[in-house]
């Protein structure tokens, strides 16, 4: 049986209480001593996809990580690093500044690392199905222990983004784009064959439902889920969120390829029972009925999270402000391998640099082009103000 702990934690900012809850969750599965030795260098990988407040549930709670750092220091570890690389096109330093991660690192005397600026070394993945080698963060590879601290939240590509998906932040930005071209789910699994964390602590102190990973609403779940098996932790977290684990493709593939346990009958739930904390998360989606009513179409193929987040935020903003009819009958095209149907009716918007060279496929159809990799939100706003989208 693979141990996974569930601990209720309604507190979000009191580090003393958070320390108690984290320690309880880790002790239930065997304690730090099961994985960590005194003097070990530890890398903590939160989820900081963008400059979004943790209070929304869109990013890892910094108070939870601060409590974890204090526990690790009390245990006697050596060097501690907090490392993250935000979504394509987003500056990690902005995500750090949004929730005071820079101040936290200074206060706790730990290293704060932007993976996008780290040194990368080529590593082989002998059992990779798509990736046989990958340039990987030198700091991560050289760490003795990796602790994964993802947020429990919904996602625009998968029903939920959890521990397996969270490790995508450790690679080069250029490789993140390639993942979407080559097959995102299998690439994430191949990556985890190389960088699978030693400990995963799923942050459900707040969490996000609805329009994740950045623009949803706080789920206010109030739990911490921990395991030495990331796949098992994700499986339990998905069940708590009311998400079918097999609908999360990267998790399903990770189970099939032996990265961990995805069978609840083989997982020992310690602490709270799933039924005691379960909450059905609203899934990530725009109001599809409104999109249909306004005949707004999105043609996407292999788009990275940068373009998807920017476009979806733009449409979501119009929807929220009651201005969706301003882009009535529009078709948005984004991604590296999008398939263009014949005879598109209405205005066409090519979105992002990956669509720059698909003019022939549009067969003379009039279109606008929003440049960028991804387009900057300010550029999108300028197009709105200039009336170029309608």
pLDDT of residue 384: 55
* pLDDT: which is higher, 324 or 72: 72
329 or 55, which is more confident: 55
Contact 180, 302 (CB under 8 A): yes
Residue 381 pLDDT: 57
87 compared with 276, residue with greater pLDDT: 276
- Secondary structure E strands in the chain: 2-8, 42-46, 80-84, 111-114, 120-124, 133-137, 145-149, 151-154, 160-161, 199-209, 217-218, 223-227, 267-271, 297-300, 331-334, 348-351, 367-370
> CA 179 to CA 110: how far, in whole Å?
31
More confident residue, 137 or 346: 137
Report the pLDDT value the prediction gives residue 390, as an integer from 0 to 100.
45
Q: Is this model's pTM higher than 0.75 or not?
A: yes
Q: Is the pLDDT of residue 372 over 80?
A: no
pLDDT at 380: 61
CB atoms within 10 A of CB 347: 18
Task: Categorize the per-residue pLDDT at 214 as very low, low, confident or very high, splitting at 50, 70 and 90.
Answer: confident
Mean of pLDDT values over 206-226: 92
CA distance 144 to 81: 11
Rounded to whole angstroms, how far apart are CA atoms 324 and 293?
10
Domains and CATH numbers, the chain: 2-277 (3.40.50.11440), 288-385 (3.40.50.12280)
| pLDDT for the residue 246 | 93
Whether residue 248 contacts residue 231, with contact meaning beta carbons closer than 8 Å, is answered with no
Summarize pLDDT for 18-67 with one digit per residue, the tens.
999 999 999 999 999 999 999 999 999 999 999 999 999 999 999 999 99
DSSP state for residue 171 in the 8-state scheme? B
Q: What are phi and psi of 321, to 5 degrees?
A: -90, 5
The partner residues of 240 in beta bridges, in order of sequence, read none
Rounded mean pLDDT of 223-240?
A: 98
List 179's β-bridge partners, or say none. Answer: none
pLDDT one-digit tens code per residue, 260-272: 999 999 999 999 9
Q: What is the DSSP letter of 189?
A: H
Residue 271's contacts (CB-CB under 8 Å, 6 or more residues apart) are 5, 6, 7, 24, 25, 28
Nearest to 82 by CA among 62, 107, 112: 112
In the predicted structure, residue 275 carries a pLDDT above the cut 90: yes
- Band (pLDDT 50/70/90 cuts) for residue 211 is confident
Look at residue 256 and tell me whether its pLDDT is greater than 50.
Answer: yes
Mean pLDDT of 140-163: 94
On average, the pLDDT of the chain sits at: 90
């Amino acid at each position: 049986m693979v141990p996974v702990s569930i601990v209720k934690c309604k507190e979000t900012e009191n580090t003393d209480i958070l320390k108690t809850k984290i320690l309880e969750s880790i002790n239930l599965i065997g304690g730090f001593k099961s994985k960590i030795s005194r003097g070990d260098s530890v890398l903590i990988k939160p989820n900081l996809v963008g400059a979004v407040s943790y209070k929304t549930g869109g990013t890892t709670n910094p108070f939870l990580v601060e409590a974890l750092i204090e526990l690790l220091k009390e245990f006697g570890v050596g060097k501690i690093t907090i490392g993250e690389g935000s979504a394509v096109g987003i500056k990690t330093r902005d995500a750090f500044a949004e929730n005071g991660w820079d101040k936290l690192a200074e206060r706790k005397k730990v290293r704060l690392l932007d993976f996008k600026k780290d040194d990368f070394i080529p590593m082989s993945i002998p059992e990779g199905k798509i990736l046989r080698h990958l340039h990987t963060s030198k700091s991560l590879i050289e760490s003795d222990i990796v602790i994964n601290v993802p947020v429990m939240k919904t996602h625009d590509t998968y029903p939920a983004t959890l521990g397996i998906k969270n490790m995508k932040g450790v690679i080069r930005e250029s490789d993140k784009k390639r993942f979407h071209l080559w097959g995102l789910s299998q690439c994430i699994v191949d990556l985890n064959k190389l960088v699978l964390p030693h400990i995963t602590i799923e942050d459900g102190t707040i969490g996000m439902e609805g329009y994740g990973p950045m623009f949803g609403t706080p789920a206010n779940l109030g739990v911490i889920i921990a395991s030495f098996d990331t796949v098992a932790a994700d499986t339990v977290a998905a069940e708590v969120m009311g998400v079918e684990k097999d609908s999360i493709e990267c998790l399903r593939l990770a189970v099939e390829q032996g990265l961990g346990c995805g069978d609840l009958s083989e997982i020992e739930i310690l602490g709270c029972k799933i039924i005691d904390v379960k909450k059905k998360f609203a899934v990530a989606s725009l109001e599809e009925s409104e999109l249909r009513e306004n005949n707004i179409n999105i043609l996407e193929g292999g788009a990275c999270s940068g373009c998807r987040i920017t476009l979806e935020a733009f449409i979501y903003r119009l929807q929220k402000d009651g201005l969706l009819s301003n882009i009535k009958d529009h078709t948005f095209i984004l991604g590296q391998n999008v398939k263009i149907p014949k005879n598109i009716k209405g205005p066409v918007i090519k979105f992002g640099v990956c669509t720059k060279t698909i003019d022939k496929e549009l067969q003379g159809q009039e279109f606008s082009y929003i440049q960028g990799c991804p387009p900057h939100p300010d550029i999108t706003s300028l197009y709105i103000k200039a009336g170029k989208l309608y």
